[in-house]
Amino acid sequence: MRNLLFVAVLLAIPDPLQAQAAPAANPLAAEAERLSVELNPQVVAWRRDFHKNPELGNRETRTAKVIADQLRKLGFEVTTGVATTGVVGVLKGGLPGPVVALRSDMDGLPVTEQGDLPFKSTARAQWNGQEVGVMHACGHDNHMAILLGAATALARMKDRLPGTVKVIFQPAEEGPPPGETGGAEQMVKESVLENPKVDAAFGLHVFPYPAGTIVYRPGPLMASADSFLIKITGRQTHGAVPWGGVDPIVIGSQVVVSLQSIISRTVNITEAPAVVTVGRFTGGNRSNIVPEMVELEGTVRAFDENVRKDIHNRIRAIATGYAEAAGGTATVEFGLGYPVTRNDPALTERMLPTLRRAAGADNVRLGPLTGTAEDFSYFQQQVPGLFVFLGVTPRDQDHTKVAQNHSPLFFADESALPVGVKVMTNLALDYLFGGK
């Protein structure tokens, strides 16, 4: 997950519908259950290998080779080099039917691991001109192992599958290196959802909920994540005679305060929560000099695309308006991040019985909105998609107090891996057997 700023992430609340009886399982559900147990030692081995050997976005060359080699052994039609280092595998079932996509991200983060696992990462790499430690601090090692486990299970059922499974191993979910393209957006541009055309896409992300818990939400789940850079230009002068210039620090201060009114006075937060945060305010180099320029840098998080666009317009209007009123000028640049991660409501309702059956009804919860962002959203803009969280906090620990994703101490309990494999395998099977 990119830009893990947790904006009032609430505890998952009980699912009010979980007591409803689930419909009959797909005819291969029992086999999927058995294989999730049988394959678990290999899934754990994959996870530990990926964890020990993380690679940064658009640099996942070893990771991609391991995945591609395994998919070829399973009989998938494999394409490599998608969106730089991505791997796509296609498994055509023995019977006609729809096409379902299962997605995992591949990249690690520029984080030096501080835990003491026997398979701890000691990898180093270059990031943004600096040598950094590399760690799967967001848990993508788990995602890859789970998807390889699901791919293995589905490959053993190939002749009985009514349709096609496309597995997508995506690079650079955390964002490509500066100056490069990548991630889900680039995969979509390179037609990853075509040939064959995908009818629905599924993904999951490990998260600090109790191990084995599945947390879902129809509609918006995660926020859009955009950055902004405001440059305010005044006129430099001596600090003792501020009337001899135009003070960009004062203008910037007024802008910072006014930006907070966007959320408090113009956004209906009961329908679509949003956040505007200024994280950097820089300018000047001496106490007695009014500088010529200051910069403000921040982030915008929203759960509705129209609200997202309106916030951008208001930020621009506030910054330029205050600057012009004081005799200065302002420019506003937006770095468009990921769109809102929005689960298709109809698909969510259709697959909810699958989640309950695969994870156990007591382990499935309706979750809150979170301020995190995910580029699975680009797939969801093209086809119906469902994205869920998989809890990985040991059951004997308080999941509200453990290290979060992106922490150098982030820890994932491997007892959640077979649950992830069951969930991903059964989402594919139930969708295929249910038809379009």
- 179 CB-near residues (< 8 Å, 6+ apart): none
* Cβ contact 237:292 at 8 Å: no
Q: Which of 38, 295, 297, 414 is catalytic?
A: 414
- Look at the alpha carbons of 294, 325, 306, 273 in this order and tell me if their dihedral is positive or negative: positive
Give the other-Cβ count within 10 Å of 94's Cβ: 12
Dihedral in degrees, nearest 10, Cα atoms 277, 13, 377, 36: 140
Strands 162-170 and 95-105: parallel
Q: Which of 209, 216, 338, 431 is catalytic?
A: 338
As a whole number of angstroms, the distance between CA 332 and CA 255 comes to 12
If phi over 0 gives left and psi between -120 and 50 gives alpha, with beta otherwise, what is residue 86?
A: beta
Q: Where are the beta strands (DSSP E) in 284-420?
A: 289-290, 293-302, 329-335, 341-343, 364-366, 385-393
Dihedral in degrees, nearest 10, Cα atoms 173, 174, 179, 180: -20
- 262 CB-near residues (< 8 Å, 6+ apart): 274, 276, 311, 314, 315, 318
108: helix, coil or strand? Answer: coil
* Cβ contact 197:181 at 8 Å: no
How big is the chain by its Cα radius of gyration, in Å?
24
As a whole number of angstroms, the distance between CA 216 and CA 369 comes to 10
Q: Is there a cis peptide before residue 41, judged by omega within 30 degrees of 0?
A: no
**Tokens 């191993």 belong to which residue?**
169
Ordered alpha helix ranges (H), 53-182: 61-74, 140-155
Report residue 213 as tokens.
């818990």
If phi over 0 gives left and psi between -120 and 50 gives alpha, with beta otherwise, what is residue 84?
A: left
As a whole number of angstroms, the distance between CA 147 and CA 103 comes to 7
338 catalytic residue (yes or no): yes
- 198 CB-near residues (< 8 Å, 6+ apart): 99, 100, 101, 166, 382, 383
209 catalytic residue (yes or no): no
Catalytic annotation, residues: 338, 414
